[in-house]
Structure 1
Amino acid sequence: MDNEEKTKANNLDLCALRSPILLILICFAFFIPGLSTIPPVDRDESRYAQATSQMLETGDFVQIRFQDEPRNKKPIAIYWLQAASAALWGAPETRKIWPFRIPSLLGAIVSVLLTFSIGKRLFGERTGLLGAAFAAGSILLVMEAHLATTDAVLLATIMAAQGALSSLYMSRDQNESPGIGTFLTFWTAQAIGILVKGPVTPMISLLTIGCLAAADRDAGWLKRLRPLAGLAITATLVSPWMIAIGLATKGAFFRQAVVGDFLSKVATGQESHGFPPGFYLLLMPLTLWPASAVAGIAIFRAWKSRTAPAVRFCLAWILPAWIVFELVPTKLPHYILPLYPALCLLAAHTIVSSENGDAPGLDSRFVRSGYVMSQLVILLLGLGSLVLPWLLDHRFEPLGLIPAASAVCATLFSTWKFFKRRYIHAAVVTIVATALVLGPSLHWIAPGVNWFWLSRNVSNAAKLRAGKQVMLCSSGYHEPSLVFQLGTRTLLTSPDGAAIFLKNTPGAMALVDLTGDAEFKTEVKNLGLAVKPAGAFYGFNYSKGRTMMLRLYVSDKIMDQPEYK
C-alpha cells in the first residue's frame, strides 16, 4: 500500500469515527450535568443504591436486601454493576450517589451509539446520526441516565438485541448465515437483559419478531438465529445466579419476583401506579422531546410507507409493544423507554427525507401548527427553571436565565427554520437548546431547591452534629434516601419506637414527623427521658405528594452543641 492509499484509508477511518465521537460529546452534554449534584432520588434509586451498599458491606453478592428486608423484585445484574462502580470509586464509605449512577450513564451512551448503528443500517448515516441525537436528548433517557436504576442498562441490552435483529431482517434475502458476532450479540443481550430486569428484553424481541412474521407472512429468516443453540447460551449465562438465589432463598425470590411483583403489575395497578390506556401517549410530547415535535407526522408517514423494510422494522418494534404497555394496568413513565429509539429514528427519517426532497415537505398548515404547539415543552422547561426557585425557595436564581433565554430563542429560531423548510437545522437548534436548558437545570438549579430534598437536609444536619457515625431513627418519614445517606443502621420506626431508641442508644438522634410529634413526646415523658430539638426541616415529600414538617431531637444529656437551624 503506497502513501496515498494509506492516507485515504486513514481518512476513511476518521470519517467512520466522526459520528460516534460527536454522539459521545452530545451524550456528555446531556448526561454529565447533574450526575454528581442531584441528591439520591426516592424511591427506586435509593433502594437500589442501598441494597448494593449492603452487598459491599456484607460480601453477599447473591441475595438482595434493603436493611433486614429481602428485596426479591428484580434480578442481580444491576446490583453487580453498581457494586463494581461503587467499589472502584469508594462510594460505600462516602455515601455519594454518583458512582452508583455510572452504569446508567454508560448504558445510556451505549444505547445512543447503538441507535446510530441501527439507524445507519436502516436509513443511512444522516438519519442515524440525527435519530441518535434525538435519543440522547430525549427527556426520558436523560432522566434515566441520571438515576441508579435498571432502565438505562436495560435499554442497552434491548438496543443490542434489536440491532442484531435488524441486521438479520435487512439481509433476509441473502442466503449466507449471519456472522458469529450477530448471533452472539442477540443471545447474550437476551441473557444480560433477563439478569437486569427479567422478561422485558425477550418480550420486545418476540413482539418485534411476531409482528414482522405476521406482516411479511414469512418467518424463514428466523432460522438464521439458530434458536436452540441461542437458548442454550442464554440459559448457560442466566442459570448460575438463578440456581444460587433459588437455593439461598428457598424459592422465595421467584415467588415474590414473579407472583408478587411481575404478575401483580400485569393484573392490577401496583403501588398506586394504575392508569388507563393512553397514559404513555399523553406523556409523549414531554418525555420524547425534542423528537416529539415531529413524532405524530412521522408515525403517520411511516404507516403509509410500511411496506419499506426499514420502516416496517421500526413499526414492528414500536406498535405491538406500545399496545402491551398501554394495556398493562401498572404504568410508570420509564416503561415505554425501549420504544423511543425507534420513534427517534422515524422522526429523523421524516426530517431528512423531507429536506432531501425524497418525501413531501412538512409545510402543511396542520404540521406547522403542531410544530409550533410542541414548542410549549421547551418553553415550560426553560421558564420553569427560572420560576421554580422563586416559588419554592423564595429566591431569584440567576443561572435560571440561561435555560429561560435558551428556550425562548430556540422556539423562535427553530420555528423560523422549520417554516423555511430547513428541517434539519430546526432539529439541530432544538437539540442544542434542550442541552442548554437541561444542563444548568440538572446541575445547579434543581439540586439547589432545598424544598425537594428533605433527606439531604436531614442528613447534612445529622452529620454536622455527629460526624460520620450517625445513629438516627426516623418516625413518619421512611424514605430510602435517608437510609442510603445515613447508613444501614438507620432505624425506620414509630413515634414510640423513636423514644425508646433515644433512651437505649447513647448519642442517638430521632427524626419525628409533625403528625407523630405529640405521641413521641408522650412516650418520652413516660420513659422519664429529657430531649431537646436539634433542628426542624420543612419540605415536600414527592414520593407521597405532600409537604412535611420534620423535627430532629437529641437526648438532653448530649446537647453540648448549638441547635442546628
Structure 2
Amino acid sequence: MTGAKTDKKATSFRPGRRFLTVPTEGWKPYVLLTIFCLVLFLPGIGSLPPLDRDEARFAQATAQMLETGDFIDIRFQDQPRHKKPAGIHWLQAASVHWLSSVEAREIWAYRVPSVFGAWAAVLLTFALGSLLFDRKTGFAAGAMLAASTLLILEAHQAKTDAVLLACVLAQQLALARHYMAAKAGDGPPGVGWSLLFWLAVAAGILIKGPLGALISVLTIAALAIADRSGKWVKGLGWLWGLPLAAVLALPWFILIGDKTGDGDSGGFVMTAITTDLIPKLLGGQESHGAPPGYYVLTMLLFFWPAVFLAWPSLWRAWKERTDPALRFCLAWLVPAWILFELIPTKLPHYVLPMYPALALICAHSAIAVLDGSAPWYDKRLLWVTGGLWALIGLILGGAAAYLPVHFGAETSWHTWFFIGFALYLLATTAAAMKHHVMNEALENSLISGGILTAMVIWLMVAGFQPMWVARDAARAVA
C-alpha cells in the first residue's frame, strides 16, 4: 500500500512519462534518440558565435582550403597550422560546399560535421550498450551521453572532438564484439567487425592523430592484464588490418611532407610533436595546466545531468568487475582517465572519448535498479552526489538568469523562465530520488537537464551581444 502511494506521488513529478520504458525493438530507439539529439544539438548552432580561438582557427583554415583549392596544406592566414591532420577540415569543407559558401562565412556550416559526429556517437553508444548489456541499457546510455553538457557543447563547435568520439565508438564497438564473442566461447566474429575497427582507426588518425587508437590500445592492455590473456585480439586481423589503416591514413602525411619540404612527412609530424604534443606532456600548454583530479571535478558539470549516478554506479561496477561487459567498460574508462589526469595540460574535452563508457556503466546500474535486480543506492552516497547535481542545476539556471543582466542585456521572459525551469528540474528529480523511483529520476534529469543546457546555449549565450566583441570589432573595421 505504501509503495503504491509512493509511486503515485513520484509520478506526478515527471516531464517525460515513458522515456525509458518505450519499446526498444526495431528502429524506434534510433528515431527517438535522433529526435532527442536534434532538440539538444541544433538550437544555437547558427546564432552562437565561435566559442573559443580554436574553433575560429579551424573554421578559418577550412575557409582558406576552399579559397585556395589546396586540401593538403593547412594554413591559418599566412602561417602553417601543423597541429592536427586534415580530416576535420575535409569534412567541414564538404559541408560548406554543399550547404553554404565560403564567402558567406556562416559558422553553422562548419559545425555540421560536429553535429553529425555527436549524433553518430549517441547511436553507436546505443548499439554498444545493446551488445554488452541489452537494448534498454543501450538506450539509456545513449540518452545520458546526448544530454551531457560536454557533448552538447562539442556539437556546437567546429572542432575535432565530436567526430573523433564517433570514430572511437566505432572502434570500441568492434572491439567489444570480439571480446564478448571470446568470453562466450565463440570464434572470432565476421570479418566485417575487424574491417569496422581498422576503418575507424584510420579515420581517427586523419581526424586527430593517434589519440583514438590510443584509447583502444589501453582498453586491450587493461583487458589482457585483468584476464591474464589477450588471445582474442588476434581475431582483429592485424596482418591485413594494420596495412589497410596505413594505406588509408599515410597518403596525406606523405603529401603534407612533400608540401613542407620533407618527403618523409617529418615536416608536419615533427612540428606537431614539438609544438603541440610534447609541450602538453611536459607542462600546462597555453595556460591550460591543472593538477590531477581536474577531470573528476569537472565531470560534475560536463557529465551533468546524469552525473548523480556516476559514483554509485562506478562503485557497483568495480565490485562486479568480473562481469565481462562491465570489465570492458572499466578497461575503457579507467586507464585512459588516469593517463589524462597525469598529463599536465588539461581541457574538459580531452576525456570525452571515455564518457560513453561512463554512460554505459551508469545506465547498466540504473536499469538494474529500475528492473528490481539491484537495490537502491546507498542513501548517504546518493545524497552527496544528488546534492552536487542540484548545485550544478542551480548554477546553470542562476547563470542563465543573472548573466544577461550582468552583461547589459535587456531582462525578458527568458530570465524568469530559466529560474522556474531550474527549480522545477531540481524539485522533480529530488522527489523521484527521495521516493526511490529510478524511472522518474532518469526521465526528469535527462530530459529536463539536457533541454535546460541546450536552452542556455540557444536563448541566453547566443543572445549575450556584449560578450561577442569580435562582431562589433569586425563591423568597426569593415
Residue 198 of structure 2: aligned partner = 187
Query: 1:397-427 CA distances to partner (integer Å, 9 max, x unpaired)?
Result: 3223333222111111111112212112111
Query: 1:28-70 CA distances to partner (integer Å, 9 max, x unpaired)?
Result: 1110111011012320000000000000000000000001000
CA distance in 2, matches of 1:434, 1:397: 22
CA distance in 2, matches of 1:354, 1:428: 14
Contact 1:402 1:436 in 2 (8 A): no
Q: Is 1:447 aligned with 2:462? A: yes
Residue 536 of structure 1: aligned partner = none
Higher strand share: 1
Contact 1:402 1:440 in 2 (8 A): no
The match for 1:72 among 76, 82, 87 is: 82
Q: Give, as a single letter, the amino acid of the residue that structure 2 aligns with 1:291.
A: A
Q: Greater relative contact order: 1 or 2 (C-alpha under 8 angstroms, separation 6 or more)?
A: 2
The match for 2:225 among 185, 201, 214 is: 214
CA distance in 2, matches of 1:134, 1:197: 25
| TM norm structure 2 | 0.92
Residue 10 of structure 2: aligned partner = none
CA distance in 1, matches of 2:41, 2:165: 15
Following superposition, the deviation at residue 14 of structure 1 comes to: 9.3
Following superposition, the deviation at residue 455 of structure 1 comes to: 0.5
SS at the partner of 2:189? coil
Q: Give, as a single letter, the amino acid of the residue that structure 2 aligns with 1:40.
A: P
The match for 1:230 among 219, 224, 241 is: 241
Following superposition, the deviation at residue 444 of structure 1 comes to: 2.3
Q: How many residues align?
A: 451
Q: Is 1:166 aligned with 2:176? A: yes
Contact 1:314 1:343 in 2 (8 A): yes
Q: Give, as a single letter, the amino acid of the residue that structure 2 aligns with 1:33.
A: P
CA distance in 1, matches of 2:460, 2:289: 31
Gap regions ≥5 residues in structure 2: 1-22
CA distance in 1, matches of 2:188, 2:180: 13
Q: Give, as a single letter, the amino acid of the residue that structure 2 aligns with 1:130.
A: A
Q: Give, as a single letter, the amino acid of the residue that structure 2 aligns with 1:159.
A: L
CA distance in 2, matches of 1:418, 1:364: 10
- CA RMSD in angstroms comes to 1.5
Q: Is 1:62 aligned with 2:77? A: no
Q: Is 1:371 aligned with 2:382? A: no
Q: Which residues of 2 match residues 375-454 of structure 1 at below 5 A? A: 375-393=390-408, 395-454=410-469
CA distance in 1, matches of 2:35, 2:212: 27
SS at the partner of 1:171? helix
CA distance in 2, matches of 1:73, 1:391: 37
Q: Give, as a single letter, the amino acid of the residue that structure 1 aligns with 2:296.
A: L
Query: 1:225-252 CA distances to partner (integer Å, 9 max, x unpaired)?
Result: 0112110110010111111001111232
SS at the partner of 2:102? helix
Q: Is 1:94 aligned with 2:104? A: yes
Q: Is 1:81 aligned with 2:91? A: yes
Identity %: 43
Contact 2:181 2:188 in 1 (8 A): no
The match for 1:198 among 198, 209, 227 is: 209
CA distance in 2, matches of 1:295, 1:205: 22
Gap regions ≥5 residues in structure 1: 1-12, 463-469, 471-565
Contact 1:403 1:438 in 2 (8 A): no
CA distance in 2, matches of 1:201, 1:351: 28
Contact 1:400 1:440 in 2 (8 A): no
SS at the partner of 1:177? coil
CA distance in 2, matches of 1:443, 1:428: 22
Higher helix share: 2
CA distance in 2, matches of 1:255, 1:430: 46
SS at the partner of 1:250? coil
Contact 1:414 1:429 in 2 (8 A): yes
SS at the partner of 1:93? coil
| TM norm structure 1 | 0.78
CA distance in 1, matches of 2:440, 2:99: 41
Following superposition, the deviation at residue 363 of structure 1 comes to: 5.2
CA distance in 1, matches of 2:409, 2:216: 49
CA distance in 2, matches of 1:436, 1:171: 38
Following superposition, the deviation at residue 439 of structure 1 comes to: 3.0
Residue 288 of structure 2: aligned partner = 273
Following superposition, the deviation at residue 386 of structure 1 comes to: 1.1
CA distance in 2, matches of 1:342, 1:38: 30
SS at the partner of 1:75? coil
CA distance in 2, matches of 1:407, 1:282: 22
